[in-house]
């Protein structure tokens, strides 16, 4: 990787995460992008791409760039506070993304909401629903895991984890599908505005649920825990509760659907001796999922940041508002980072494990996400111990953010 970038063809002629070649095998394109340097200009996205893991981790830790979507040069104009809807109050006024000091306060006081004890209690709420999904599936010779199981998991997980009453499930379902589009820089303004309106409707519902819960508190769900934290901590308000729930929706919706598909695909595509190792305990699966994510490279983009002012950064002059994309997945098949990167090994050691971020921006819901994955994948192999891929799944070109499958057909071999 010593060849200078100026003697190479333009990166956009080599790297295209929306191409069929990338979806079938992203490794060559990821390695080609990484060899261009620490910070690479990518014209199609009008963005700089940060390619090296040590730089990405330093950026996560010290936060020299803005996480505020409204700081992007192509974002819609930041509305004045008197014009904020519920969505802006959540995204700006109580955002986990923007204000560093408030973000740290929220993480500190809400740490008990993500403890092992709480995760265990939430598991007890989710597990019966996952079993019910498989009960309804029965024992078919063949089925589409994406349609019959994976598609339903995000809704089950979020509604049961948070503690959303069943009467509100139909109204909350749409935002679980669209919330991540509210700040996605790659989609149209119309699509983003539609998602914003979904979020506004969902926030109105969440406010109703919070009011009801204050009068009739429960014990073993995320919302009850957050309400207790609110009562005990000055500076942590209802808006923070709403923002945290939206963060769980954002992290647990399309991301969970992608993770479900790749977890099953990776375990079935590789040496079957890996399955028992991966599913031995929740902790072993936690490590296995890091390997699933590394081996699969399902990401197309990365984590967006924005230059808060004209600045020099990593040897480049950045204009105010320009996007910088941190793309840790570029390392995943690089032999400089991983020995035998082509090998799938669920016991591979990750030090550090940055699958869910790092430092102040480590995903607060990581333990919850991995636990519901563990439950559903474990149930699949309990019900169908001889399950196998019916055929190689066709990639779906329409997804804006990840490499996903149109269908994931499994043959149960149970008859």
Look at residue 382 in the predicted model and tell me its pLDDT.
Answer: 97
Q: 155: pLDDT confidence band, cut at 50, 70 and 90?
A: confident
Give strand ranges (E) for 38-145.
39-42, 47-50, 142-144
**Beta 323-326 vs 303-306: how paired, if at all?**
antiparallel
Whole-angstrom Cα Rg for the chain: 21
Whether the pLDDT of residue 325 is over 90: the answer is yes
DSSP structure class, residue 59:
H
Look at residue 94 in the predicted model and tell me its pLDDT.
Answer: 54
Distances (CA, A) of 141 to 241, 392, 412: 44, 17, 5
Look at residue 126 in the predicted model and tell me its pLDDT.
Answer: 86
Q: Number of structural domains, the chain?
A: 1
Predicted confidence (pLDDT) per residue in 375-396, tens digit: 999 999 999 999 999 999 999 9
Q: Return the minimum-mean-pLDDT range out of 51-55, 127-131, 273-277, 358-362.
A: 358-362
Tell me the two tokens of residue 61. 């830790």
Whether the pLDDT of residue 87 is over 90: the answer is no
User: Distance from first CA to last CA of the chain, Å, rounded?
Assistant: 52
For residues 356 and 343, the model is more confident at: 343
Look at residue 1 in the predicted model and tell me its pLDDT.
Answer: 38
Whether 377 contacts 371, CB under 8 Å: no
Predicted confidence (pLDDT) per residue in 111-153, tens digit: 776 777 777 877 788 899 999 999 999 999 999 999 999 988 8
Whether 299 contacts 327, CB under 8 Å: yes
User: Which of 73, 74, 55 lies closest to 64 in space, CA to CA?
Assistant: 55
Look at residue 3 in the predicted model and tell me its pLDDT.
Answer: 45
Q: What is the mean pLDDT of residues 358-365?
A: 69
For residues 251 and 104, the model is more confident at: 104
Q: 361: pLDDT confidence band, cut at 50, 70 and 90?
A: low
Q: What is the mean pLDDT of residues 217-229?
A: 80
Q: 2: pLDDT confidence band, cut at 50, 70 and 90?
A: very low
- HSE of 104, CA atoms in CB hemisphere, 13 A: 7
Look at residue 173 in the predicted model and tell me its pLDDT.
Answer: 79
Query: What span, in angstroms and rounded, lies between the C-alpha atoms of 288 and 294?
Result: 10
Predicted confidence (pLDDT) per residue in 179-221, tens digit: 777 767 667 788 888 888 888 888 899 999 999 998 877 667 7
pTM: 0.86
Q: Maximum Cα–Cα distance for the chain, whole Å?
A: 68
CATH code where residue 341 lies = 1.10.630.10
Look at residue 294 in the predicted model and tell me its pLDDT.
Answer: 94
Which residues sit opposite 123 in a β-bridge?
A: none
Range of the domain at 149: 5-411
Look at residue 368 in the predicted model and tell me its pLDDT.
Answer: 76
Instruction: Provide φ and ψ at 332, rounded to 5°.
Output: -65, -25
Per-position DSSP letters for 216-256, written without gaps between them: S--SSSHHHHHHHHHHH-TT--HHHHHHHHHHHHHHHSHHH
Query: What span, in angstroms and rounded, lies between the C-alpha atoms of 244 and 229?
Result: 12
DSSP structure class, residue 336:
T
Look at residue 218 in the predicted model and tell me its pLDDT.
Answer: 67
Distances (CA, A) of 167 to 164, 172, 221: 8, 10, 17
Look at residue 5 in the predicted model and tell me its pLDDT.
Answer: 55
Mean pLDDT of the chain: 86
Per-position DSSP letters for 357-386, written without gaps between them: --GGGS-TTHHHHHHHHHHHHHHHHHH-TT
Tell me the two tokens of residue 288. 């296995």
Whether the pLDDT of residue 40 is over 70: the answer is yes
Predicted confidence (pLDDT) per residue in 270-307, tens digit: 999 999 999 999 999 999 999 999 999 888 888 899 99
Which residues sit opposite 93 in a β-bridge?
A: none
DSSP structure class, residue 351:
S
Q: Which helix or strand (DSSP H or E) is residue 409 part of? A: strand 409-411
């Amino acid at each position: 990787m010593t060849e200078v970038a100026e003697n190479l063809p333009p990166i956009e002629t080599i790297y295209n995460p929306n191409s069929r070649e990338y979806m079938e095998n992203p490794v060559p394109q990821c390695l080609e992008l990484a060899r261009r340097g620490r910070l690479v200009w990518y014209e199609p996205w009008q963005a700089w791409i940060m390619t090296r893991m040590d730089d990405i981790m330093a950026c996560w830790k010290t936060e020299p760039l803005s996480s505020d979507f409204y700081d992007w040069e192509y974002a819609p104009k930041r509305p004045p506070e008197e014009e904020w809807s519920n969505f802006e109050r959540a995204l700006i006024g109580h955002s986990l993304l923007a204000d560093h000091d408030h973000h740290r306060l929220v993480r500190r006081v809400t740490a008990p909401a993500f403890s092992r004890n709480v995760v265990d209690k939430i598991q007890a709420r989710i597990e019966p629903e996952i079993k019910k999904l498989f009960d309804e599936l029965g024992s078919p010779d063949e089925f589409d895991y994406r349609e019959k199981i994976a598609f339903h998991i995000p809704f089950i997980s979020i509604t049961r984890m948070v503690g959303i009453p069943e009467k509100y499930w139909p109204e909350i379902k749409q935002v679980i599908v669209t919330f991540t589009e509210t700040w996605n820089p790659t989609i149209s303004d119309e699509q983003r505005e539609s998602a914003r309106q979904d979020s506004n409707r969902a926030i109105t519902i969440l406010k109703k649920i919070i009011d009801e819960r204050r009068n009739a508190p429960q014990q073993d769900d995320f919302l009850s825990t957050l309400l207790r934290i609110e009562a005990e901590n000055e500076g942590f308000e209802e808006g923070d509760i709403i923002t945290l729930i939206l963060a769980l929706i954002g992290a647990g919706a399309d991301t969970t659907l992608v993770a479900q598909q790749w977890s099953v695909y990776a375990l079935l595509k590789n040496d079957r001796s890996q399955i028992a190792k991966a599913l031995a305990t929740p902790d072993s699966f936690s490590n296995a999922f890091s390997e699933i994510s590394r081996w699969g490279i399902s990401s197309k983009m990365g984590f967006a940041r924005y230059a808060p002012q004209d600045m020099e950064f990593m040897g480049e002059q950045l204009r105010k508002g320009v996007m910088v994309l941190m793309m840790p997945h570029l390392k995943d098949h690089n032999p400089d980072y991983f020995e035998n990167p082509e090998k799938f090994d669920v016991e591979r050691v990750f030090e550090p494990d940055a699958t869910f971020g790092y430092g102040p921006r480590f995903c607060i819901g990581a333990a919850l996400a991995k636990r519901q994955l563990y439950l559903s994948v474990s149930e699949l192999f309990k019900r169908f111990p001889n399950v196998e891929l019916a055929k190689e799944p066709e990639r779906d070109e329409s997804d804006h953010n990840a490499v996903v499958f149109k269908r994931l057909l499994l043959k149960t071999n149970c008859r």
